[in-house]
Every structure is written in structure tokens, then in C-alpha cells.
Amino acid sequence: MSLSIISPSNREKEMQSLISIYNSIENSESIIFNSGAGAGKTYSLIESLKYVIRNYGRSLKKHNQQIICITYTNVATKEVKERLGNSDIVLVSTIHERIWGLIKQYQKELVEIHKEKLKEEISILQKNIITNKEFEKYQELDDAKKEKFKRIMFENKELFYQNYNVRAADLKMAFQPFLEDFPEILKNVSNFRKIVNTIYKLERNLVCLENINLNKKEYKFVDYTSNYNNDQLHNMKISHDTLLEYGQRIIEKYDTLKQIVIDKYPFVFIDEYQDTNEKIVSIMSSLDNYAKKIGHKLFIGYFGDTAQNIYDDGVGSKINDIHIGLKPINKEFNRRSTKEVISVINQIRNDNIKQVSIYNDCGGGSIKFYKGAQENVRDFINKYVHEWNISSANKLHCLVLTNKVVAEYSGFKNIYEAFKETGKYKGINYNQLNTELLNNDLSKLGEVPKLLFSIIKLHNNILNNKTPVLEILSKKSLSDKLNIEDLRKLINLLKQNKGKTLGEYITSISAYYTSVNNEIYEKIMDLTFGYKITSCEIFKNFLLEKLFNDITDENIDYANEIIQKLLDIEMDEYELWYKFIIDKQEQNINYHTYHGTKGREFENVIIIMENAFGKTRDYFSFFFKNLSDPSLLQGAEKDLFEKVKNLLYVSCSRAIKNLRVFYIDEISNFESGIENIFGQIYSYNCEDRSSI
Amino acid sequence: MFLKSLKISNFRKFGTENNKIEFVDASSYQEQKKGREINIAPTTTLIVGKNNCGKTTIVNGLEKLLNNQEFKANDFNFSYLKKLLVEYERNQSIIETPFLQFRIGIGIEDNSNDLISNIIPFMILEDVDRSELEILIKVELDDQEIFKRDVKLLIDKYSGIERFDKFLQLINTSQFNTNYYNAGGEVVTSNFSINKLIELRAIKANNIENEKSLSRAFSKIIEYRYKALFEEEGMNLDSQINLINEELTRLISNKHTKDINQSLEGIESREKLQVLLRADLTFQKLMSNLIKYEYVERDINIPENQFGLGYTKLMMIIADLIDYMEKYPEDSFNSKVNLISIEEPETFMHPQMQELFIKNINDTIGSLLKSKNKNVNSQLIITTHSSHILNSKIHSGNTFNNINYITIENNFTHIVNLHDDIIIPKSQSYDKQKRENDLKFLKKHIKYKVSELFFSDAIIFVEGVTEETLLKYYIDKDEVLNKYYISIFNIDGAHGLVYHELIKLLKVPTLLITDLDIKRSETEKETFKQISNLTDRVTTNETIKKYNSNYEKLDSLPNQLEIDNMYIAYQTEVEGYFATSFEEALILTNYKNVLLNSVLIKVKPKIYREIIMTDKRFQKIKENSYKLQKKLAKSKSDFANELLYKLIIQEEVVNTPSMPRYIESGIIWLTKKLVKEN
């Protein structure tokens, strides 16, 4: 066995980096702990947490104080909790949960922030109405006519929404009788919709603002809903991004709140800081400064690696500009990979962190760069399935560039293809699809993928006998008036929902929904769907509305066709997608995108690579081309270079033992760049193999 | 819903094995509900055992959990803690930290209206169609890191007894949390607390505090009824009390207050000092002194304090039950498991009353339920060391089921769940009718033997009056054994066999003294053939056959047989001969003993003289042992009594005849067992 022996001197050295952290904890001196991939960053984080518990646990408990630990994903939260054991003075959670936990009890102040936000939104909408070209026809009306138009539209709100997704002619027909005085405004239906929508939205926000000022009961609280990705400001509901914004605003505005947070949580640990939102870093920075100002103790520890910043909204190396005065602590050991892998990833990052393996027995790895062709990818993978004895106990993980390929290879190509054709994810929105359809972090799934996820989850849960009943009831309150026979009836009913395709399954669900009078069944479905699923049509319309928001007349048939496609896909395919999302795939070969492997490690890795990435044609090729002298790059190009480097670093550093890169484009222009990192370039084609 | 089982780990005397108490199951419970006559005996769970074996611990543990009381070091099993500490001393890394565990089995009845909201957090899909569910409650450290650090410090700093003391102190000062898990070991985080699911009314052993306990108990019930059931009347009573107060105050004011204030005026001016006296009778005050409890016996009213403690005790329990039933909610469904535990009700009761206890409670509950329309699902748990209560449970319930027998093994509480099927096992080879009859026999026969079996430290089974008489004498003389409660049980072998499974269950060390019963031919019998060799000999003894692998031949029979807690003793070779009975073995062992010889002369003078003839050599006694025992067969009891008489009046202890070797060995085994255990 390799990667098992650690010499005492290495152990001692590793301890030193921990001791530096401990010292900073003692001195309430905020740190930024940098370590490359596989350095055992999570280990250092856990040990630091344990150190605080050991030395401050009693006192924290006595003063009713807690330690905050923020992780990047729910998966990581679970891992930290497991490794930390039973300790309730540490609050481990993702950032959104924590920020909401911090601010939610300050409703009076939150409502103030909310008012500010509403006012800003209102002024943007008002400005749009006045200046935006799309609102031209409305702008041309005189004030009296504007008012009249608004009045008519408010009176016919229902009619407007009923006709939201119909053909332009139908819409015109529906509104003609009401808008005879406004012949111009109906000419362009798309703009008409925009005008009316904006008017409605503006009105809703104004009403909301007024209600807040009137001190109405339902307007005294702001709520955060993790289920939806869009704000509903007028309903006092905010989503992810706005939550962070409110968090930042409220903390910056109220010094007392700063002090409360500092005194209640004197230790804050942030994992994967590089991908943490800037707003969080500025919240932390203002807390840190305020603590120093009032002379209270506060320790903030950022754990991460700038070279692994792969998300655009992550703070990356800017952290040092936003949070000034952090003490850097570096760890240069690698606990994951063989020395062959380590030497390649060091070569990629090419900065002040040069990792060495902590193990004495760190050899035995193998890493090779192949050039080949698209059509040989499967063959190449098969070659290594044999060569590396891939089995369920020794899986092979393939990193591919596009989600399309992941979807195809993982068995849910049709789902992916259908989504790709939707208005929401088409064209410039294509990148959204990657994060919103194939994300292991459920909170990042898009609205429709999240709905599908909930449906498949219910389907999957019902089939699995080990599912906790509460998970199916989804809300504790649903169990309140239940006896055993009610429960048996309910579960039986749920088990009767069947369907080969999604459409059939939904039809089955809605058939029982309308025919069987079972209140709890209905409530479960209401919670799953978010609306009353009385027919499959309702589901279709929902998809249509969400996936083809700005549908034009000509496209309505096409849109319906795509929706039908989604409904005709078999449940088995959705199951595969579901297993992929929850990372419980059963196949021996698992496919991931480069991004999807953050924080993971695999024995065997094959990376399929090409020039392009997403919309950028010249992506990896750009990196290899400029590798010899990146200092020549500036501005956007410099940023791009960094981005590619980080992605390459993250992907290659997943491998523990075996790593292959298979490049499917022509490389003659940048061979030297590749050789610089991977050494010799091998070429692969099928004939080679058949001759073996 | 009902409590089906409770498995207690590491709490007080409980270890991690044989720690499951089983409660009455759903079927008998439901049958009971259907039946017109209420007979609670079969639906009562009995916890029996000697003192200090952990009976009360069971209810105490439940109470602690339900009342969210803190668990302290002395709630942990010390053997367990010692073992942990040794482990910590040995290993650098600490893996297991101390915890207590209660595993609760909840039974679910079909077609029941009970709300299951309290157990849903513990259910997984496959439980939905099952009739049972498990809830795991763990009392575990809040912070393992701090504990581990402190243990390391403590091991470095202290040693020996002091180390263990400090370890206990550490546990005492450490914060423990109560966590809930489902059967799959997953934490149940929803804000569940076990007292939402289980309610326990514990009626304690020492509930008689003073002479007025009963009056107080009943006035509490009346007060409750006034408040909850007769609100309007209660209001009337209140206004009447007010009228009395006003009237009394007026009287007091007229007759006393004025006078007093006048006197005071002499000392200080009225503005500065005066008193106001008024009556202050309240509902509570009235109630607390209102009820006088008298017992009506043959038309004579007997006041509470003249009344036997036993009756008071019974009435206290009944008063508690009335109170319980009154307060039981009037819904048609339950969402809780309701338990009533009665702890050692036998205190102060005479045997007859103990025998009738379950019946009395039965009648009370029956009549209470008749007048109410409540869906009471309460389970009754009685903790007792009364053999009479145990007896009445077995007989009025006509089963051994639902009796938890508690004993101590290797310093740990050991629970035995009695069940008809274990006591008389069902098996293919067992004729069904015979099984029924055996069970019937056991239930009837045990009536007189219950206390011997269940509450003694050791049991000796004998097959004859001589053994019985003599063993009692010998044990009484034995300095070690006479400190124990040892029962001697005289029953012939074939019938004794019926008891064996029960004996094994009860774990009481048992010495079975049986006979070799060597089969002789008719001629051998007539010629009184002495047997000095077992080759080709067979036995007619059922017990020996059974435990010698159904093998009747005697050649390869070991000197004794040991099965679990049983030791089977039978005659071994003495002075060159194999005795067939106890008497013969006794004669062979003591053929030269003067006292024995004198008894033989006394009981069988003619035969004795015939054998010993004129030369008076004891050798003859030895050579005719079989003949002597044959002749004694009809006067065994005379022989035994005469022997006992002589033993008691003799002055020289040296003359005491020795027990035959096979019995001596058995006694030594028994002594070892007893001494080791205690």
C-alpha cells in the first residue's frame, strides 16, 4: 500500500502549521490559511475547531457563545459535522443559512433595509418606464391616458395572466375590446407584455411600500425562502443573492448588531473562502474592524486556496483587498496524491505554494497526456477500464468539459437536450443551465430543475423502504392528526402513483389528487409542486411559463413541443439524473464536469479536454499558448488565463493515483505549453489499441 | 400504541445484555378491551425479583427520562465505567465515551384511533405496515472533545482509586444530552421529547406519610372534581364560602376587633395603629380539612388512624387510581402511551390481602371504567417481591407470560422474560397434549413453591423425605450456607423434570439430587444383590437419561452432570459398591457410624440383628446395604425422623454421620456458586 507512512519529522512539520493557527486563535488575529489541493485543509479546519472547543468550550458555554463554521456546500456541512462529532457549540452550516440565522431576529431593521431596497427597485422601474425604448408606445401617451391605461390593465389582471402564453393574435383578441382607445400599444405584443408586467411590478412594490408604512401586520417581517431563486419583494420574500445583500447592508448600517454578532460568535471559520461571495468577506471585514475598534475579541479564519477559485462570484485573490490585515499561513504538504500527480499540479499553479507529499511512500502514480480524436473518447475510456481494473470498488471518474457530455454519458441526455432548447436556457443563458440543472448543491438548482428534483425525490422516496416517513410528509405539522390507518392509506395511495414517463407519472398524481379525497395527499403534492396539481395541463403550463417566459407567437408550438419532450422522457432517465444530483450513481464510471468535483478526490481520473470551454472557443488552448510568458497578458486576458489555470488545477488535483488527460483538438500550436506541464505527449487512436 | 419493550444499557446495575423488559403485547390487550369482564391480570406486566436487583431502577430510569432529570455519575454502571477507564489507560486515542441507552419498543395496533404524530419522526416507510417501532434514546456527552482532553489530564495526574474517583467527578461535571435516534441509527432532530410520547404515573412504595394521608388523597380528588367537573357547583360553593367569611368577619368585628382597637388606642393614636381582623376561609383551606376518611366495616365507622396500615396502603393505591382516571382526558383517541406503575404494593399487607391485590385493583379499575366513557389505554406495571402477588398473577392470568424476573449475574442486572413457550418449549418431539398437561401441572403445582423458586438464593431438588430432612439439618449447621435462603424441594424425578426449563431461566443455582436407580432383575432383587460394577448396567432414572444424551447405560456416566445453573448429583461408588438410593449411600458411607447403627436398630431391629448376626462386624452392614435399603423402603419417614432426632439430641458432634460423597460434592459446588455470586 502506498500513501500510508508519515515520518515523524513530517508529522512535526505539519503540526507546526497547526500551531501557527492555534497561536493566531490565542491572539484573536484573523488569518487566511492557504493550502493547495489535497493538503488536508478540512483536516486543519477540524483540528482548529477542536482546539477552540478544547480551550474555550467551557467559557463559551458559560457565556452562551458559539463558534461559527461556514462551509461552501451542504455536503461539506455534513462532512464537518460528522468529523467534529457531537458538539453543539459549533454552528456548522452553509453561508445562506448562517446569514439568515444571524439577521432574522432583527425584523425591524430588516424591514428598514427592505424599504430601501424597494425604493431602489421602484426608482429603477420608474426610470425604465420613462427611458426604455421598449416602453415607447406607453411613453407617447399623455398623463390622463396613462392613468386610464393603467386602470384598465389593473382591472383585467386575471385576463392578462390567463393569456400569458397564448399566441399574439389571441392576446390581441382578448384585449382589443378593452383597449380600443390604445391602438398603438397592442401592436407589438412582446412590448405590450413588458409594459404591463413592469406596471404591475411597480404597482406591487408601491403597494408593498405603502403597507409597510401603514404598519400592516403581514408587512412587519421579511422572510428568506431557500426554495426559490427569485425575490418576491412585494411579498416580503427574498432569495439567495438578496439575502447576502441584506446581510451586508444591515451589518454595515447597525453598529449594535455588529457588536451582538461579535460577542455572540467570537470565532468564525470560513471554508473554501476563494469561492465565497465578496459580500460575505466585506461583512467579515467590517466585523473584524469593529471588534478592533471596540476592543472585543474576534477571530476569523479563512481556509482555502486562491488557485482553486473557479466560480465567478467567488472572491478569489481579491480577498486581501477587501479584508485587509489577514495573517497568511501556508501549508505545503499534500496528503492526497502520489508524487507524480503532485509534480504536475505544482507545475500548473506555478506560484509560491510548492507542494510535497507528506508520505514517505508517495510513488506509484501514473500521469499521461494523450492527444486523440473525439470519436475515440469511449474507446480510450474503455482501455483504462481494463488497464486499471475498474469495478464498483475501484471506480473510474471522468471529467468532461460540458454538461452535455456528462448528461449523455451518465444516461440522461434527453433531459439535458430538452432543457437546452428551452427559452430560459437557450443561447446566452446556456451557462445558467450548467449550474441550474446539474448542480450537486440543491440550493443552486433552477426553479424547474428543483421542481423536477422534488417530484423525482418523492418518487424515489416512496420506492425506498428505508425512507423516513417524515421525509415524505415533508412537514411535521402534516403528521399532527394522523392515526396509523390514515398513514397506511396515504402511503398506499402514494405507492399507487405510477408512470413510465414523467407525463404519465404526473397524470397519475393528478388523477388521484382530484379523485381521492385525501387531505394529506393533497398537501404533500401542494408542497412538492407549489400549486394544486389537479391536472397534467397545469404542470405543463407551469413549465411553459417558467421555461419560456418571453414566448413569441411563432414559437408557441415549438415551446409546447419541448415541454412535451420533457414529459415523454422516461422516469428511469429522471432517476439517473436524480442519482447524479445527489451523487449516488451506481455505475462504475462516473462522469463529472470540471467544476462538479470541487473538494472531492478519486483514485482514477480521466480528463477529456479540448480547446473550447462554453462560449469561449480558445480556452485551454489559450492557456497553453500563453504559458511561456503569462506576464504579457493584461485585463480580461489576464483574468481568463487565471480562470483556466484554476480550473485545470482543480481538475488535475482530484487524482490520487492515476491521471490521464485526453485532448481531442489539434495541439500543434501549443505543444510546448503542454509539455511544460505534462511532459511527453502521447498520441492515441483506435488502431493503436487493436494492434496491441 | 403501547409500550412493548424497554432495553436499558449501562444505567445503574444494567449492562448491555439481558437487559430487556417486555410488556404485555397488543393482542392480549385488545382482547381485554373487547371482553365484557375486565380481568387485568393478563394485561398487567409484573416485574419480580429479590431486593436490590434493579426492579425499581426500571421505573426510576423511565421517570428520570420523562422528567428530563439530569443523569449523574452514579446513574452509570460502575463496572462499565471501570472498563472504560481501563480502556482509556491502555489506548492513546479515546474512541467510546460514556453513554446511557434506553431502547424503547412501541407497539402499534391495527385499526386504532391513536394519533401517531409522536412516533412518526422515528418511522421509515417499511415501518408503516409493521406493528412495532423502535426509539433509541441515548444520554451522551455534549462535548466529547472536552471530555477526552480532561480524561487524558486525569490519567496523567492521578492513579489508583483516586483516579477512578476523579473520573466519576468528571462525569458528574460533564454536560450530558439526551438524543433520540431511529432504528436505523439516524438522529431524529425534530423537537421530540420522550415525555410527549410516554406518560407515567408512578405509585411509590412509601406513600403513607402520616395518619392523614388518605384523607388528603381523597380531598385532592374531590377538589379536582369540583374544579373540573362541577364548575357551577364549585362557583356556588365559592360564593357560600364568601358569605360565611362575611358573616364571620362581621361577628369578629363586633365582638373582638373593636375591643382590641380600643385597647390599642391607649398605647398609640388610632391613626397610627389599629388592627383589622377578618375571616379567611378559602376553597383550598376548606377542602384540606373537609374530608374525613372513615372505613365502614360492618356498619361501624372506623377512623383512618385506627385502621391497619395494610388497608391504608391499598386505599392509597385505589385513591391514586381514582385520581388518575378522573384526570384522564375524555377523548376517543390517545396520542400517548400511558403507564401506571405500582411499586411494591405488598408493604404492610398480610398474605391474604397480597393474594387478592390484583383482584382488588382489577375491581377498582373495572368499576372506574364502567362509569366513564374514556378510552383508557393505560398499561399497568407492578413491581413486587411478593410471592403471593406473583402467584395470583400466574393463576388469575393462567399464564407465565408478561412476568419479568430480575436477578443479578456477575454484578449486572439480568432480566428473564418468562413465557409459557420457553418454560415448556414447543417442539416436534413433544406431544401436544402432554405439553398442555405439563403446563397445567406446573401452574398448579408452583402455587405452593413460588417463593422457593423465585426468591431463594439456591434450590435443592430431592427425591425423598430422608434427603429432605437430612439436608435441612446439614445446611442449617453449615456456617456458609446457613446465611443464604436455600429452598429444598421434594418432588419425584419425572415430575421434577417439568421444572427444569423454568429453573434454567431463573438462573438460581440448583442442585438436583437424584438416584442412580440401577435396574435389577427380579432374581437380583430377591437375593438382594450388591452391585460393585456398572458394566452393562442401565438406569431407570428419567433425569439421568435426559441429561446423559438419552443414554440409559451407566458405564460411561460421569460422576455428575452440569447443565447451565444446574448440577445433577447421583450416587457414586462407595466402599466398592454402587448404591441405588440415598439411604443405601448413607448406610454405605457411614456403615461404621455408631449413631447410624443405632437408628437402624431402632427402626428395623429384627432385620438389623439378622444381618449383623452375632459377631457384630460392621462389615456386614456394608455388604448388605441394598437389603437394608429395601427393607427400609416402607419406613423411610421413620428412618429420617429417628435420624434427625438422634442428630439433634446427640452431644458429640464427632458422631454425626457424613453425607455421601455425591451430595458433598454437590454441596461444595453450590457453596462455590453462592460465594462467587455474592
Based on the fold, state whether residues A48 and A165 are members of the same structural domain: no
Which residues are paired to B415 by β-bridges? B406
Answer yes or no: is A351 within a domain.
no
Tens-digit pLDDT profile for residues A97-135 = 899 998 999 999 999 999 999 999 999 999 988 888 888
Task: Enter the pTM of the model.
Answer: 0.74
| Most distant CA atoms of chain B, gap in Å | 124
Angle, helices A484-496 vs A519-529, to 10°: value is 50
Based on the fold, state whether residues A421 and A563 are members of the same structural domain: yes
Answer yes or no: is A249 within a domain.
no
Based on the fold, state whether residues A223 and A276 are members of the same structural domain: no
Answer yes or no: is B405 within a domain.
yes
Task: Closest CB to A482: pick one of B111, B120, B142.
Answer: B120
- The single-letter code of the amino acid at B634 is K
The band of A357, judged by pLDDT with boundaries at 50, 70 and 90, is very high
Tens-digit pLDDT profile for residues B627-649 = 998 888 888 889 999 999 988 88
Of A581, A603, A625, which residue sits at a domain end? A581
Answer yes or no: is B428 within a domain.
no
User: Which of B554, B341, B399 lies closest to B41, judged by CA?
Assistant: B399
Across residues B25-53, what is the average pLDDT?
68
576-605 in A: which are within 8 Å (CB) of B? none
- Which residues from A are below 8 Å from B117, CB to CB? 479-482
Residues ≥6 apart with Cβ < 8 Å to B259: none
Beta-carbon count within 10 A of B57 CB: 20
Q: In what order do the strands lie in the sheet with A681-683?
A: A589-593, A396-400, A602-609, A655-663, A366-371, A681-683
Q: Where in the sequence is the domain holding A418, given as residue range(s)?
A: 413-581
Whether the predicted pLDDT of B259 surpasses 60: yes
Whether the predicted pLDDT of A58 surpasses 80: yes
CB contact under 8 A, A483 and B112: yes
Whether the predicted pLDDT of A298 surpasses 80: yes
Of B199 and A475, the one with more pLDDT: B199
Based on the fold, state whether residues B115 and B193 are members of the same structural domain: yes
CB contact under 8 A, A476 and B121: yes
Answer yes or no: is B82 within a domain.
yes
Q: Where in the sequence is the domain holding B345, given as residue range(s)?
A: 2-206+341-409
Query: B204-220 burial, b for 16+ CB within 10 Å, e for fewer?
Result: eeebbeeebbbbbbbbb
Is A78 in the B-facing interface, judged by CB distances under 8 Å?
no
Q: What is the reported pLDDT for A310?
A: 85
Phi, psi (rounded to 5 degrees) for A219: -110, 25
Based on the fold, state whether residues A484 and A421 are members of the same structural domain: yes
In the block, which residue shows the cell 375591643?
B259
Answer yes or no: is B195 within a domain.
yes
Measure CA of the first residue to CA of the last residue in chain A; give whole Å: 29
The band of A86, judged by pLDDT with boundaries at 50, 70 and 90, is low
Strands B2-9 and B99-107: antiparallel
Across residues A288-292, what is the average pLDDT?
95
Based on the fold, state whether residues A484 and A566 are members of the same structural domain: yes
Is A75 in the B-facing interface, judged by CB distances under 8 Å?
no
Give whichever of A170-184, A467-481, B26-40, B95-109 has the largest mean pLDDT. B95-109
Based on the fold, state whether residues A143 and A88 are members of the same structural domain: no
Of B143 and B336, the one with more pLDDT: B336
Answer yes or no: is B393 within a domain.
yes
- Residue to mutate among A65, A88, A469, A480, with most B CBs inside 10 A, is A469
Distances (CA, A) of A66 to A87, A295, A300, B454, B554: 11, 19, 13, 55, 78
Is A87 in the B-facing interface, judged by CB distances under 8 Å?
yes
The band of B85, judged by pLDDT with boundaries at 50, 70 and 90, is very high
Count of structural domains, chain A: 4
Distance separating alpha carbons of residues B7 and B21, to the nearest angstrom:
6
Based on the fold, state whether residues B168 and B183 are members of the same structural domain: yes
Based on the fold, state whether residues B282 and B375 are members of the same structural domain: no
Is B124 in the A-facing interface, judged by CB distances under 8 Å?
yes
Based on the fold, state whether residues B198 and B264 are members of the same structural domain: no
Q: What is the reported pLDDT for B372?
A: 66
Stretch among A25-39, B385-399, B499-513 having the lowest mean pLDDT: B385-399
The band of B320, judged by pLDDT with boundaries at 50, 70 and 90, is confident
Average pLDDT of every residue of chain A: 89
Distance separating alpha carbons of residues B409 and B677, to the nearest angstrom:
7
Answer yes or no: is B465 within a domain.
yes
Q: What angle do CA B506, B508, B512 make, to 5 degrees?
A: 110
Give whichever of A53-57, B35-39, B425-429 has the largest mean pLDDT. A53-57
Tens-digit pLDDT profile for residues A647-668 = 999 999 999 999 999 999 999 9
The band of B331, judged by pLDDT with boundaries at 50, 70 and 90, is confident
Is B185 in the A-facing interface, judged by CB distances under 8 Å?
no
Of how many residues is chain B composed?
A: 678
Based on the fold, state whether residues A445 and A566 are members of the same structural domain: yes
- Residue to mutate among A484, A485, A487, A524, with most B CBs inside 10 A, is A484
- Which residues from B are below 8 Å from A475, CB to CB? none
Q: What is the reported pLDDT for A691?
A: 40
Stretch among B367-381, B534-548, B557-571 having the lowest mean pLDDT: B367-381
Answer yes or no: is B317 within a domain.
no
Based on the fold, state whether residues B85 and B223 are members of the same structural domain: no
CB contact under 8 A, B120 and A473: yes
In this complex, how many residue pairs, one in chain A and one in chain B, have their CB atoms less than 8 Å apart?
95
Based on the fold, state whether residues B403 and B254 are members of the same structural domain: no
Is B635 in the A-facing interface, judged by CB distances under 8 Å?
no
Of B351, B374, B409, which residue sits at a domain end? B409
CB contact under 8 A, B128 and A488: yes
DSSP state of B257: I
Based on the fold, state whether residues B234 and B283 are members of the same structural domain: yes
Q: What is the reported pLDDT for B295?
A: 67
CB contact under 8 A, A468 and B144: no
Answer yes or no: is A165 within a domain.
yes
Stretch among A332-341, B282-291, B411-420, B481-490 having the lowest mean pLDDT: B282-291
Answer yes or no: is B328 within a domain.
no
Q: What is the reported pLDDT for B100?
A: 95
CB contact under 8 A, A466 and B125: yes
Give whichever of A573-577, B403-407, B493-497 has the largest mean pLDDT. A573-577
Answer yes or no: is A339 within a domain.
no
Of A190 and B155, the one with more pLDDT: B155
The band of A686, judged by pLDDT with boundaries at 50, 70 and 90, is low
Task: Check which CATH number belongs to the domain holding A32 and give it.
Answer: 3.40.50.300
The band of A692, judged by pLDDT with boundaries at 50, 70 and 90, is very low
Whether the predicted pLDDT of A549 surpasses 80: no
Based on the fold, state whether residues B250 and B139 are members of the same structural domain: no
SS3 string, A192-259, reads HHHHHHHHHHHHHHHHHHHHHHCCCHHHCCCEECCCCCCCEHHHCEECHHHHHHHHHHHHHHCHHHHH
Based on the fold, state whether residues A298 and A160 are members of the same structural domain: no
Query: B154-165 burial, b for 16+ CB within 10 Å, e for fewer?
Result: beeeeeeeebbe
CB A175 within 8 A of CB A156: yes
Distance separating alpha carbons of residues B13 and A609, to the nearest angstrom:
66
- Output the nine-digit C-alpha cell for A536: 397534467
Average pLDDT of every residue of chain B: 85
The band of A1, judged by pLDDT with boundaries at 50, 70 and 90, is low
Tens-digit pLDDT profile for residues A23-52 = 999 999 999 999 999 998 888 999 999 999
Whether the predicted pLDDT of A288 surpasses 90: yes
Of B353, B378, B409, which residue sits at a domain end? B409
Based on the fold, state whether residues B200 and B246 are members of the same structural domain: no
- Which residues from B are below 8 Å from A480, CB to CB? 115, 117
CB contact under 8 A, A464 and B125: yes
130-189 in A: which are within 8 Å (CB) of B? none
Distance separating alpha carbons of residues A380 and A368, to the nearest angstrom:
13
The band of A597, judged by pLDDT with boundaries at 50, 70 and 90, is confident
In the block, which residue shows the cell 424441594?
B489
Answer yes or no: is A158 within a domain.
yes
Measure CA of the first residue to CA of the last residue in chain B; give whole Å: 40
**3-state secondary structure (DSSP) of residue A615:** coil
Based on the fold, state whether residues A219 and A267 are members of the same structural domain: no
Q: What is the reported pLDDT for A381?
A: 93
Q: What percent of chain A has pLDDT over 70?
A: 97
Whether the predicted pLDDT of B38 surpasses 70: no
Based on the fold, state whether residues B109 and B197 are members of the same structural domain: yes
In the block, which residue shows the cell 389537479?
A534
Tens-digit pLDDT profile for residues B448-504 = 777 678 888 899 999 988 899 899 999 998 899 999 889 998 888 778 888 888 888
Tens-digit pLDDT profile for residues B171-200 = 998 889 899 998 888 888 767 889 989 999
Answer yes or no: is A464 within a domain.
yes
Based on the fold, state whether residues B153 and B250 are members of the same structural domain: no
Rg (CA), chain B: 34
Min Cα separation B457/chain A (Å): 45
Q: What is the reported pLDDT for B166?
A: 93
Across residues A565-571, what is the average pLDDT?
96
Count of structural domains, chain B: 3
Based on the fold, state whether residues A510 and A606 are members of the same structural domain: no
Based on the fold, state whether residues A326 and A428 are members of the same structural domain: no
Dihedral angle over CA of A281, A282, A286, A287, nearest 10: -30
- Output the nine-digit C-alpha cell for A88: 453543539
Tens-digit pLDDT profile for residues A143-182 = 888 888 888 888 888 888 777 767 788 888 888 888 888 8
Distance separating alpha carbons of residues B357 and B379, to the nearest angstrom:
17
Distance separating alpha carbons of residues A567 and A499, to the nearest angstrom:
11
Whether the predicted pLDDT of B425 surpasses 70: yes
Answer yes or no: is A239 within a domain.
no
SS3 content of chain A, % helix, strand, coil (to 5): 60, 10, 30
Distance separating alpha carbons of residues B289 and A397, to the nearest angstrom:
83
Task: Check which CATH number belongs to the domain holding A380 and give it.
Answer: 3.40.50
Based on the fold, state whether residues A575 and A438 are members of the same structural domain: yes
CB contact under 8 A, A473 and B109: no
Based on the fold, state whether residues B402 and B483 are members of the same structural domain: no
